[in-house]
Amino acid sequence: MSEEFDCIICGAGIGGLLTGAALSQGLGLKTLVVEKTGVLGGRSGVIEKEGFLVDAGLHVIRYCKKSPTSTIFKKLLGKKEKLQMIELGDAKLYSGGKWHDYPLSAAAIETTTFFNEEERGQFKQILGEEIISAKVDELFDVNVKDWIDRTEKKYGIKPGPARIFLETLARFMLVSYGNLDKLSVGELIAGIQLGLKAGKGACYPAGGWKPLIENLASKIEANGEIRKNTKVEKVLIENQKVVGVQVNGSPIKSKIVIVDIPAQEIFSVLDEQLFSADFVEKCKNLIPTAGISIDYGLKEKVSEFPGSVISADPFTMSIFTSNLDPTVAPEGKQLYTIFQPTPIEVVKDTGKSDEIVNKMEKLLEEMFPGFAAKVAWRRVVKWRMVDGAIPYVSQHRYNRPSVKSADIEGLYFTGDTYNGPGTGGEIAHASAELCIRTIMKDLNLEIKK
């Protein structure tokens, strides 16, 4: 006799875990999560190294209490649960050999040394008229470069700090090495508006990502199962309806299947002949964010910076993670991660990517003199996929695949390549919330209290 579940989730990335926790505990559905590796969390996973809890790159929760992550915990898990988070401090910008407070808030604009008084006044005007008051839906198909060019001309801004700030902000918010002529300014401004509304730019989960992932797993297992080191061979479909999945040559029945696999790879478990040509093309042509990260276990503290650290040239973003939560590093030591978005063709080229690593480490010694002497260990990762979809005009939220299949009944998607609003890693969390709410509507279900 074959097994049967109310819903099956293929993949245990952060999107799959958030979705599974809500379906299992919040909606009371018997849920099976199938993960091909032995690690939960996907690209939000954590490793333990010499007493350090090391994230897979940089991972924060943007917008804190206003984030989809927080919303899922508060409203979609069956009982109100407060997600414990640590707010990041003020960001720092390294540009032209000098440190500046990076103005990610109206208050910081008033005090940063990055602008002179004329530039400060111009940027405050831009913030009010072109960002806070912007009609975002009219801007998703406008690229960042054209918007900055138009803004410079409109406000008579001279080349210099204002443009550097706007370009760096676009790279930071949209997690991109450049290509400003392709990035969606609508996604950029939507993110800034939400950040201003939230009042907080980003938070880090208390204790790191490991306890958060374990918490979600426990909620799934309360009314279901997680099977690691188990591969879904294919999603079973009959008459354009989901009937289950095949694992180890045997069927497992379910009328609901959620695929937590990057859209570029879903046809490893789905028959593309069953889907529209437009959907297939949209999935296969998505361009992911790629880049290089270096994690450092430091023998002693290098910096007290409590927030994001950004460099303008080359563009990098980094965090002293143990300054946010000391529990992720042994006492007296420090955990630091730096990331540089990089074209995927460079990441794939060993010589060119090694050159990027060398330049990153040269930059670190410039920013923090004596840094190299304090390194206990380092881990270099060349990521071919950091986030599933760069927020280009061609693949903003309205141009990415939907979390609900238009072709197959009972088939849904979650993760950072689908149409949840946002940029970077937050897309996975937003797509999870959208997927949960879509299933609730389709099945006419309400959260169990």
Instruction: Read off the pLDDT of residues 184-211 as tens digits, 9 standing for 90 and up.
Output: 999 999 999 998 888 778 999 999 999 9
CATH of domain 3-45+65-81+207-286+391-443: 3.50.50.60
40: phi then psi, degrees, rounded to nearest 5: -95, 150
184 in Cβ contact with 143 (< 8 Å): yes
Average pLDDT over residues 161-190: 92
pTM for the structure as a whole? 0.95
CATH of domain 289-387: 3.90.660.50
Determine how β-strand 224-227 pairs with β-strand 31-34. Answer: parallel
For residue 83, what are its two tokens?
A: 């997600």
Instruction: Read off the pLDDT of residues 376-402 as tens digits, 9 standing for 90 and up.
Output: 999 999 999 999 999 999 999 999 999
Biggest distance spanned by C-alpha atoms of the chain: 75
Asked if the model's pLDDT at residue 140 lies above 70, the reply is yes
Report residue 264's pLDDT band, with 50, 70 and 90 as the boundaries: very high
CA–CA separation, 336 vs 377, rounded Å?
Answer: 11
Cβ-proximal residues to 203 (8 Å cutoff; 6+ apart), any chain? 60, 61, 64, 67, 85, 86, 87, 88
